[in-house]
Structure 1
Amino acid sequence: MTFEEFVALRLGALVRYATVVTWDPHLAEDITQEVLVRAQARWSRIGGLDAPEQYVKRMVLNEFLSWRRRKAAHVVLLPKETLDGFAPHVPDRTDAVDDRDLTRRLIAGLPPKQRAAIALRYYEDLSDEQIADYLGCRTGTVRSYLSRGLATLRAALPAHRVRI
């Protein structure tokens, strides 16, 4: 399969995966673009693998984990006056959307490796061993990431509305 065919077939899935890992659709697009630029340069090697998509997904995860370290010093907050010209955000009032939004914000607030472990377990449906391989740690560490992340989410979510 050529690189162009791979991108045409799997771009949507890669951006969705990156969105689940980062919980930021704009950052997910940036990371996916960055990874695909690097993957294209090495496609003769990557394309010959049994599972090139898994390799590229691992590149996305690694890029996210390193992006947080590299880009943290470059975040620029815009002053309120800059945003005054934009229409105000009107939130959806349905309970389901509120619950999803709260869950998304809470997951986004988790440390990056806990967030990645949760995404790999519940989005990619990977085992502890596979997640450990992705994150470069032991399976016990993966269990710790999952346990701590889920405990944080359970403590913060209203018990009567959302179950984790």
Structure 2
Amino acid sequence: MSRYEDDEQFRLFVQRQWGRLLRTAYLLTGDRGTAEDLVQSALEKTHRRWGRVLRRDAPEVYVRRAMVNTAISWRRRRRPLEVPLLTSDSASMPDAYAQVEERQLLLTALRRLPPRTQAVLVLRYFEDLSEADTARVLGCSVGSVKSQASRGLARLRVEFAPPAPQSPVGLQEEPA
């Protein structure tokens, strides 16, 4: 295959996959600008090896693996500063934006997970990849994907568990 044909195939691949790759990158980074940088970086790495990628691996798998590895590497280098919220900032009011707020809380909770667990959850549940495909993208075993997903979901469930009901002060029984 000529260099021109390779470049044309790569261009078509980017056109078809850009939206999905950007969504995955956003879920991995939590910021649209950083997500665009992540996709660009992964596509740059993929383009350099495009001929080999086509022969050996599915391009989607290679790009996602590059995105996950790059996101983990960036996260290690740039520890984000966490800004504590005031209690008034975190109080949610039921309104028309409740779904958007809940999604934002989910993304925030997802960011607090370890990078590999975060990658497993994004690939499995947001990208809807099978356990085998997720394992292939991450270069690990299916069992590792299952355990990471289980632990990650358990942590998210704890974050989103409804608060335990408290009995009213006046109705508490006194010890006999």
2:78 aligned residue (72, 78, 95): 72
After superposition, residues 1-164 of structure 1 pair within 5 angstroms as 1-48=8-55, 51-69=58-76, 71-72=77-78, 93=95, 94-159=97-162
Q: Counterparts of 1:28 and 1:132 in 2: how far apart (Å)? A: 22
Distance verdict in 2 for CA 1:146–1:31, change over 3 Å = same
RMSD: 2.8
TM-score normalised by L of structure 1: 0.73
Q: Which runs of 5+ in 2 are unaligned?
A: 1-7, 83-91, 164-176
Distance verdict in 2 for CA 1:26–1:100, change over 3 Å = same
Distance verdict in 2 for CA 1:143–1:8, change over 3 Å = closer
Distance verdict in 2 for CA 1:10–1:130, change over 3 Å = closer
Identical columns (%): 39
In the TM superposition, what whole-angstrom CA distance separates every residue of 1:91-143 from its partner, at most 9, and x where no partner exists? Answer: 99522122111111111111111111111111222233332332233333222
TM-score normalised by L of structure 2: 0.69
In the TM superposition, what whole-angstrom CA distance separates every residue of 1:22-56 from its partner, at most 9, and x where no partner exists? Answer: 33322211111111222222223234557322322
Q: What letter is aligned with 2:15? A: A
Q: What letter is aligned with 1:34? A: S
Distance verdict in 2 for CA 1:134–1:7, change over 3 Å = closer
In the TM superposition, what whole-angstrom CA distance separates every residue of 1:55-107 from its partner, at most 9, and x where no partner exists? Answer: 222221222222222x226x689xxxxxxxxxxxxx99522122111111111
Q: Counterparts of 2:114 and 2:63 in 1: how far apart (Å)? A: 22
Q: Counterparts of 2:12 and 2:49 in 1: how far apart (Å)? A: 15
CA shift for structure 1 position 153:
0.9
SS of equivalent to 1:65 = helix
